[in-house]
Amino acid sequence: MDRSPGGQCKICNHPQRVEIDKALVEGESLRIVAKRFDVSYSSVGRHKRNGHIAEQIAKAAKKKEIKQAKEVQAAILAQEAQEVTDAQTILDEVSRLKDRALTILDRAETEGTREACMALREVRGIVELLAKIQGQLSDAPTVNITLIENQFNDFRTAIIGVMCSDCQQRLTEHLRARVGR
């Protein structure tokens, strides 16, 4: 862009440059602007003709875009932080439920009641939910038959070991009825 001798636009370096640009953008005549701000008519004309106002507008727009981008980024980060907080709250609550269910299971096992079966089922459900929340278990299971059989046998042994004799008998009858289908 053309500048005055010495390479500097007198209007761009003027202390009231913003007001001069504003007056020119609002359509004020070059002559009135020059007189009001005590600058030469030719300097105002050169400033406008060489696009210095557009340069300043572009810089201001870029600064505004950067500011808006930073505001959007801050909002996104705040939302992500809230989601993490919410997820942690849910995880903490599920963990508390697991602890309570284990306490109930321990009491039911000690007393030898059939509530042990129900408490064990609740603990299993809560542990499964925790595993899903923590990404250790997906809804679409991958199948490894040998692993599943070994885990099932271990699980079956553990369940039968904590059940009262009445529950063991009912489970045996139920499994026989299902196999006989």
Tokens of 40: 């030469």
* Residue 143 domain flag: yes
The token pair at 94 is: 């599920």
Q: Is residue 120 part of a domain?
A: yes
Whether 69 is covered by a domain: the verdict is: no
The residues, ordered by sequence, that sit 6+ positions from 115 with a Cβ below 8 Å of its Cβ are 104, 108
Q: Is residue 130 part of a domain?
A: yes
Q: Is residue 168 part of a domain?
A: yes
Q: Is 96 inside any structural domain? A: yes
- Domain presence at residue 8: no
Q: What is the pLDDT, as a whole number, of residue 42?
A: 94
pLDDT at res. 2: 45
pLDDT in tens, 23-60: 988 889 999 999 999 999 999 999 989 888 888 877 87
pLDDT at residue 112, as a whole number: 66
Q: How far is CA 171 from the centre of its chain?
A: 45
45 to 34, 35, 54, 57, 170: CA distances (angstroms): 9, 13, 14, 17, 99
Choice among 22-31, 37-46, 147-156, 167-176 with the minimum mean pLDDT: 147-156
Task: Produce one character per residue of 139-166: b if its CB has 16 or more CB atoms within 10 Å, e if not.
Answer: eeeeeeeeeeeeeeeeeeeebeebbbee
d(CA 11, CA 52) in angstroms, rounded, equals: 9
Confidence (pLDDT) at 15: 93
> Distances from the Cα of 134 to the Cαs of 7, 61, 92, 121, 129, in angstroms?
64, 44, 12, 20, 9
Average pLDDT for the chain: 76
How far apart CA 170 and CA 181 sit, in angstroms, is 17
Predicted local distance difference test score (pLDDT) of residue 172: 72
Q: Which pTM value belongs to this model?
A: 0.38
Q: Is 90 exceeded by the pLDDT of residue 16?
A: yes
The residue length of the chain stands at 181
Alpha-carbon separation of residue 30 from 15, 26, 42, 46, 154 (angstroms):
18, 11, 9, 10, 92
- At residue 108, does pLDDT exceed 50? yes
- Return the pLDDT at 54: 81
- Rounded-to-integer distance, Cα 2 and Cα 46, Å: 8
In a domain, 115, yes or no: yes
pLDDT at 181 over 60: no
Cβ contacts of 164 within 8 Å, gap of 6 or more: 112, 113, 114, 116
Number of domains in the chain: 1
Q: Of the candidates 78, 9, 69, 16, which has an alpha carbon nearest to the alpha carbon of residue 44?
A: 9
Relative orientation angle of helices 52-111 and 17-25, to the nearest 10 degrees: 100
| Predicted confidence (pLDDT) at residue 140 exceeds the cutoff of 70 | no
Instruction: Residue 148: give the domain boundaries.
Output: 85-179
